[in-house]
A and B are shown apart, each in its own frame.
Chain A
Amino acid sequence: MNNLLARYAENIFWMARYMERAENLARILDVHETFSRDVHGFKNWHTIVRLNGDDKAFYGRYQTATAESVVRFYVLDSQNPTSIIFAVRAARENARVLRPWISTEMWAQINVFHNTMQTLTSADVSLPNISRVCGKIKEACQNHTGITEGTFYRDEGWYFYLLGKFIERADQATRLLDIGFNTLTGSTEGSNASQDFVQSHALLRSVAGYHAFRRVYPRGMTPAAIAGFILYNESFPRSVVLCVREINAVLTRLKSRYKLRGGNAAMERIDEIMAALNSRTIEQVIEDGLHDYLDLLQVRLSAVTSELSRSFFGYQPPEVSQQQEA
């Protein structure tokens, strides 16, 4: 059987990751603008900076976290490795290398998306336009997902695409929960309660989970229930557990269908993550410290990527790639 060129596997993996990342970043910015205002109309844009662990990079370049500066930093700043424009460019660079491999439609869509991003100006991302721009970016990413689903040939490469997508999505979900959860106070009365409602709403919206959550919990909306939903819900497409199960299934498929010899180490890391996800209730996790728990998940997801690099992307010891972990 003709196996996939190792470098292609790596490029496919990262193309998927960067597109998924761009979508998640757009979701965060969009939701933040639309929903996360407290009763005084104050928007805590600093939250986003913290969410991405970018305090140092951000305040090295901007004085205060205003809507303008934060959005510019995360949408337009090509020097910022956690910006959308950076993610899209990286996705496009990977896609460019993959042009003999991916469908023409996939390539053309990413290329046009990238070209459009290059033409965005500060005015385009000024406060009144943020939601529209983020919406367009999200749509472009979903376009990519749809075109990929409908045109990408389903061989080995497809599985590396899924690996990249689900690892990134799981990682982004933990980051989002980490910061979103901290803004929730758990109050049931007074102005804190109404702020909680707005923040909970925003958190769920940013993972497109509000309606699904409502279906599962028609009456209550406690911070613990939201955290549990994002981490453990077996049917929610952006939950951590669902992503991890998908990764596991893909790795199994690569072994059985394509007889890949590598991948055992990555599967062991996945087993560890599954164990962590199954061991405790959300209440216990919160009591012991949600932040540390999410941190651990991120570290283990990153370990999965390292194992994939070692097993599949390099043949020889991994040039742990120059591509960006979030």
Chain B
Amino acid sequence: MSRYDQGGFYDELFGGNGNTAPHAALIRERLAALDFADIHRRSEDAARELYNLGITFLIYSEQEAEDRILPFDVIPRVLSAAEWRRIEAGVVQRVTALNLFLRDIYHDRKIIKDGVIPEDLVLGNSNYRPQMIGLKVPFDTYIHILGVDLVRDGEGVFRVLEDNGRVPSGVSYVVENRHMMQRVFPDLMQNLGIRPVDNYGSKLLQAVSEIAPSNLKDPRVVLLSPGSYNSAYFEHIFLAREMGVPLVEGSDLVVIDDRVYMKTTNGLAQVDSIYRRIGDDFLDPRAFNSDSLLGVPGILEAYRKGNVALANAIGTGVADDKAVYCYVPRMIKYYLGEEALLPNVQTNICREAEGLQYTLDHLAELVVKPVGEAGGYGITLGPLATKAELEDCRTKLLADPSNYISQPMVPLSVCPTLAESAVEPRHVDLRPFVVTGRNTWVLPGGLTRVAMRRGTFIVNSSQGGGSKDTWVLEDDAP
């Protein structure tokens, strides 16, 4: 650690911009006292254990599917209690506004009438579901599970990069990473007062139970998965286990008279509430994508009749759209009369002439993202792109401007990370998980994703990114 150089970026353990990250002083000290070879050995133990436990995700290339572990970096990212309070308040504010927005656009559409957000951006959005118009959902909660992608800029300010309000994933790694740290680095964690993360499953079950129809005391809850070939299947297993509910696939469920039943060894048993890990498009072949073999025919009607609850609700994709994202700070102002506690990254909307022109003029400085993609696919990083890549991006932009937004390249914060021969800085982001039923609860910390290669800003697991344990301290030393 003695030759560690954070390279001008804000550092999660060393601070920056005048902040010396005093909350991490003790951890820095403990890390410095560890022998490099020892850290390496423990890191290898952890990787082997993850593989043996099958904590893996499937990655698809061409025609092959490969079982891989998400690279796990053993050096934690540490947030002070004060930092976390700001983040927590910020994401609670955000989910509140997004839920109000969803209720609004499926009912009175006041925000459109008041001209805060363009009508076609909402009603013309491919993720807007007319089937949801006028439908009342319990507690007006649409997004029961929200993952907010945060990045920390050069000044150390957390900014929202995007919202994941459909089927956010990654929470299983938060819990498993913690278990792994407790096994391989108990000495590092001792007496620090790190806030626990193990109760995610019970909080989630509580929220999904609360939204079940008609005050059932003990509603039957299931987790609906697309099946073992889904890349996030491990997470489905993990969550079903943590919630103590059956992990079902579409073929395990059947709809009769607008009620959903599960096939058991003793015939059919009614299901009251479903945590679904299948996107809207594949949920009900009768209503949406008729080619889907993953879903449950007739489930939409059962849902609309109020006979079964779904988390997340149908039609939330319009709220986490990358173009709608630009309007979230205004949504917060509109519904809550507050300023956004967590600012967005400045964003140019290419569907608007001004945004397109600016993007074209500054292509080499900007990150250009397709609005419909997830997982880091289709992104062009201007400052790192070759001439040919920039030209290719320009062509695509001009062909279909409304499919793109652009943002300045945020100099993501770094965190000390175990590399081949030394501890080196690597860029990180943070995805806190927000669970809402009757009330909202935020898992302390969230998923810290880390770009394992030197210099790269792309942290997505599909692009070789890994993850770290994220520690939120209970108290900051006075």
CB <8 Å contact, A6 and B237: no
Check if B53 is an interface residue, CB within 8 A of chain A.
Answer: yes
In the bound assembly, the distance between CA atoms of A228 and B54 in angstroms comes to 45
CB <8 Å contact, B252 and A6: yes
Q: Which residue of B lies closest to A159 (CB)?
A: B265
Check if A115 is an interface residue, CB within 8 A of chain B.
Answer: yes
Check if A217 is an interface residue, CB within 8 A of chain B.
Answer: no
CB <8 Å contact, A5 and B266: no
B238 contacts across to A, CB distance below 8 A? 100
Closest 9 interchain pairs by CB? A3-B264, A100-B240, A315-B263, A3-B266, A100-B241, A99-B237, A6-B263, A312-B265, A5-B246
CB <8 Å contact, B266 and A261: yes
Q: Which residues of B contact A (CB under 8 A)?
A: 51-54, 220, 228, 237-238, 240-241, 246-249, 251-252, 254, 262-269
Check if A52 is an interface residue, CB within 8 A of chain B.
Answer: no
B240 contacts across to A, CB distance below 8 A? 100
Please report whether the interface of chain B is mostly helix, strand, loop or mixed according to DSSP. mixed
30 contacts between A and B (CB under 8 A): A2-B264, A3-B267, A3-B269, A5-B246, A5-B252, A5-B262, A5-B264, A5-B265, A6-B252, A6-B264, A7-B252, A8-B246, A9-B265, A96-B54, A96-B228, A100-B241, A100-B246, A104-B53, A108-B52, A111-B53, A115-B52, A156-B265, A259-B266, A261-B266, A261-B267, A312-B265, A315-B263, A315-B267, A315-B268, A316-B263
**Would A99 and B263 be within 8 Å (CB), given that A7-B249, A315-B268 are in contact?**
no
In the bound assembly, the distance between CA atoms of A160 and B269 in angstroms comes to 19
Q: Which residue of A lies closest to B239 (CB)?
A: A100
Q: Of B52, B252, B266, which is within 8 A of A112 by CB?
A: B52
Contact with B along A1-15 (1 / 0, CB 8 A): 011111111000000
CB <8 Å contact, B263 and A97: no
Q: Chain A contact residues (Cβ within 8 angstroms of B): what range?
A: 20 to 34
B246 contacts across to A, CB distance below 8 A? 5, 8, 100
Q: Which residue of B lies closest to A263 (CB)?
A: B265
B241 contacts across to A, CB distance below 8 A? 99-101
B237 contacts across to A, CB distance below 8 A? 99-100
CB <8 Å contact, B228 and A97: yes
**Would A262 and B52 be within 8 Å (CB), given that A5-B252, A96-B228 are in contact?**
no
In the bound assembly, the distance between CA atoms of A6 and B248 in angstroms comes to 10
In the bound assembly, the distance between CA atoms of A104 and B183 in angstroms comes to 16
**Would A111 and B52 be within 8 Å (CB), given that A3-B265, A99-B237 are in contact?**
yes
CB <8 Å contact, A4 and B247: no
Smallest Cβ distance from A193 to chain B, in angstroms?
51
Q: Of B247, B263, B268, which is within 8 A of A100 by CB?
A: B247
Contact with B along A176-196 (1 / 0, CB 8 A): 000000000000000000000
B248 contacts across to A, CB distance below 8 A? 5, 7
CB <8 Å contact, A6 and B265: yes
Q: Of B53, B220, B263, B266, which is within 8 A of A108 by CB?
A: B53
Q: Of B51, B53, B264, which is within 8 A of A4 by CB?
A: B264
Q: Which residues of A contact B (CB under 8 A)?
A: 2-9, 93, 96-97, 99-101, 104, 107-108, 111-112, 115, 156, 160, 254, 258-262, 312-316
Given pairs A5-B246, A5-B248, 18 additional interface contacts (CB within 8 A): A2-B264, A3-B267, A6-B263, A7-B263, A96-B54, A99-B54, A100-B241, A101-B241, A104-B53, A108-B52, A112-B52, A115-B51, A258-B265, A258-B266, A259-B266, A260-B265, A262-B266, A315-B263
A104 contacts across to B, CB distance below 8 A? 53
CB <8 Å contact, B265 and A4: yes
Q: Most chain-B CB neighbours within 10 Å: which of A259, A312, A315?
A: A315
Smallest Cβ distance from A29 to chain B, in angstroms?
26
Smallest Cβ distance from B315 to chain A, in angstroms?
28
B268 contacts across to A, CB distance below 8 A? 315
Smallest Cβ distance from A93 to chain B, in angstroms?
8
B247 contacts across to A, CB distance below 8 A? 100
CB <8 Å contact, B52 and A314: no
Smallest Cβ distance from A264 to chain B, in angstroms?
13
Q: Which residue of B lies closest to A315 (CB)?
A: B263
A260 contacts across to B, CB distance below 8 A? 265-266
In the bound assembly, the distance between CA atoms of A258 and B269 in angstroms comes to 14
B263 contacts across to A, CB distance below 8 A? 5-7, 314-316
Q: Which residue of B lies closest to A110 (CB)?
A: B54
**Would A108 and B54 be within 8 Å (CB), given that A3-B264, A6-B252, A7-B249 are in contact?**
yes
Q: Most chain-A CB neighbours within 10 Å: which of B220, B238, B265, B266?
A: B265
Smallest Cβ distance from A312 to chain B, in angstroms?
4
B228 contacts across to A, CB distance below 8 A? 93, 96-97
A313 contacts across to B, CB distance below 8 A? 265
A3 contacts across to B, CB distance below 8 A? 264-267, 269
In the bound assembly, the distance between CA atoms of A6 and B53 in angstroms comes to 25
In the bound assembly, the distance between CA atoms of A7 and B248 in angstroms comes to 9
Smallest Cβ distance from B298 to chain A, in angstroms?
16
In the bound assembly, the distance between CA atoms of A7 and B265 in angstroms comes to 8
B251 contacts across to A, CB distance below 8 A? 7
Q: Which residue of A lies closest to B218 (CB)?
A: A2
A254 contacts across to B, CB distance below 8 A? 265
Smallest Cβ distance from B272 to chain A, in angstroms?
12
In the bound assembly, the distance between CA atoms of A101 and B240 in angstroms comes to 9
Smallest Cβ distance from B426 to chain A, in angstroms?
29
In the bound assembly, the distance between CA atoms of A261 and B247 in angstroms comes to 23
A262 contacts across to B, CB distance below 8 A? 265-266
Q: Which residue of B lies closest to A156 (CB)?
A: B265
Q: Which residue of A lies closest to B267 (CB)?
A: A315
